[in-house]
Structure 1
Amino acid sequence: MFDIKDILEPETLEKALELLAQNAELKIIAGGTDVLIKLHHRRIKEVELLSLRKIKGLDKISMLEDGSIEIGAMASFAQIFRDSIVEKHIKVLAEGAVSMGGPQVRNMATIGGNVCNGAVSADSAPSLFCLNAKVRLKNKYGERIIPIQDFYKGPGKVDIKSDEILISLIIEKESYENTIGHYIKFSNRKAMDIAMVSVCVVSSIENGKFNDLRIALGVAAPTPIRCSEAENYAKGLEITEENIDKIAEFAVKSSKSRNSWRASKDFREHLIKELTKRGIKETIK
């Protein structure tokens, strides 16, 4: 059924990196929910797969000594949704995780695979953008850590080299402490559909004003984006209905919506404005 030439299943990260260094054509498979669809539609053929399933520890979610939260790339969306650290400190990521497909998909799909797929509709992306997440990449010779906003390069394109594996995502304490977040996904159907538009809002409020406000959009540009113009305008702004409307208008300006078979440009912009307002209000309740 699937045009698979070979599948390798190393049991250690070191072995996996060695195999990648030897063969740049290997296709990494994590949960497999994206790769198998591409194989089914014959978008990739005669592929050699490198499975990360047997490598222990890549699904770990932990609190580091400096208060940063590290989420292993092989953590499934079901695991993220149920994790106590996520629930306590970065619940907005759990909101994105539970909106991902159905239970069967959430049990298999991994956050690393979701990010590396580079899809603008990735349910984890807006929350990770709002949390200023960093991606940790490793090859045989060392590792590098880069902001997730720099990781996305275009539709389906991410900054990962052929010999690298995404090990984990890191969210620093200063990016989640004293904040409240909310994720909203709008789709044609209520279940198991990709987002038409998704909005994440993370806010920090002090004395009736926005101390910090972060807004990220999915399916509003070629990649997930942060609405920097809206965020800069909101900083120190008094919380009023009029100001929330203005912030939402700035969020629309940051978007690069287009017409598609799923929705018109005008409808997407309407959704961005209304969902941004709703997300802001949810965080200030």
Structure 2
Amino acid sequence: MYDITSIYQAKSVDDAIEALQRDPQAIVIAGGTDVLIKIREGKDAGCSLVSIHELKEELEGVALAPNGDVEIGPLTTFRGCTFSDVIRGTVPVLGEAADMAGGPQLRAAGTLGGNLCNGITSADTASTQMAFGAVLRVKGPKGEREIPIDQWYKGVGKVALEPGELLVKIVIPKDHYEGWSGHYIKYAMRNAMDIATLGVSCLVKLSADKARVDSLRLAFGVAGPVPFRCLETEKAMAGLPIGEAIEKIGAAALAEVNPRDSWRASKAFRLQLVEELSGRALAEAARKGGAKV
């Protein structure tokens, strides 16, 4: 059973914002793959909802802006992301990460915006969007503003949205993806339809001869309370031969992560995953970029 007090179907983004102003306690629902589960479990029982599910003309789809930025509507489903020609041609690793979320039914309903707005560290696309340095465009009663993704997460389940605000666009700037190749690894106890025990996304820009790391980005999910990048590790890997970087990246990352014990896995096991999967992710990202590894 779903204990819902009321549900308002927004007619536009502005209408949704007005509805949230009228009822500041209302919860935004899109695909519902997270919200409905929380209601069913009793965590948000008795809530009122503002649905943006039908605002597809304003909030769905992937486009390449004239300046080369990738613009993703927050109502774009995981499946829509994976099969987008724009995503495949610019940031394919994001589509690959989206294809690892849940099962086919969830990927057809769940949205990229919801994957960010739930504020959960295990969100499958979050670490890759963190690695790309996505910019999140939100709109509210005071107008629009942009939030770099490294300022988005405020704690477990908490994000930088202010009362009455909606996420209206996810932007990956051209200079954040051009020349980069990447790979995402999700470790879970099952091969499908499971929450990540650990997620790691690695992007690499290779030297002209494809033999060295020019620049590197390494982001994790479930290695801390929110998705985050290992900035010191990224600096340490710059300039190293690919083989050496693959050998050293895992140990370097251990100094920056802070996983916890949970019923899914122990902290010690997650630390082992961090060390092992970092090198694997870098090796595959470099191979995609043309390196011989």
Q: Same fold (TM over 0.5)?
A: yes
Q: Is the Cα contact below 8 Å between 2:246 and 2:280 reproduced in 1?
A: no
3-state SS of paired residue (2:242): coil
Higher mean C-alpha deviation, range 95-104 or range 153-162: 153-162
The equivalent residue for 1:275 is 277
Counterparts of 1:85 and 1:280 in 2: how far apart (Å)? 24
- Report runs of 4+ in structure 1 exceeding 4 Å deviation: none
Higher mean C-alpha deviation, range 5-14 or range 166-175: 5-14
Counterparts of 2:220 and 2:19 in 1: how far apart (Å)? 37
The equivalent residue for 1:31 is 31
Deviations 1:169-192 (A, max 9, x none): 100000000110100000001110
Deviations 1:101-144 (A, max 9, x none): 00100010001111000111000111101111011110122011
The equivalent residue for 1:284 is 286
Q: 1:94 Cα deviation (Å)?
A: 0.6
Counterparts of 2:200 and 2:106 in 1: how far apart (Å)? 22
Q: Is the Cα contact below 8 Å between 2:13 and 2:58 reproduced in 1?
A: no
Q: Is the Cα contact below 8 Å between 2:213 and 2:245 reproduced in 1?
A: no
Q: Is the Cα contact below 8 Å between 2:184 and 2:281 reproduced in 1?
A: yes
The equivalent residue for 2:20 is 20
3-state SS of paired residue (1:57): helix
The equivalent residue for 2:230 is 227
Q: Pick one of 252, 255, 258 that aligns with 1:256.
A: 258
Alignment of 1:84-163 (within 5 A): 84-163=85-164
Question: Normalised by the size of structure 1, how large is the TM-score?
Answer: 0.97
3-state SS of paired residue (2:67): coil
Question: Normalised by the size of structure 2, how large is the TM-score?
Answer: 0.95
The equivalent residue for 2:290 is none
Counterparts of 1:259 and 1:53 in 2: how far apart (Å)? 36
Q: Is the Cα contact below 8 Å between 2:223 and 2:270 reproduced in 1?
A: yes
Gaps of 5+ in 1: none
Deviations 1:16-70 (A, max 9, x none): 1111222211110010000100111111122111000121220121111111111
Counterparts of 2:66 and 2:110 in 1: how far apart (Å)? 28
Alignment of 1:3-82 (within 5 A): 3-55=3-55, 56-82=57-83
Amino acid aligned to 1:225? F
Matched residue count: 284
Gaps of 5+ in 2: 288-293
Percent same amino acid at aligned positions? 39
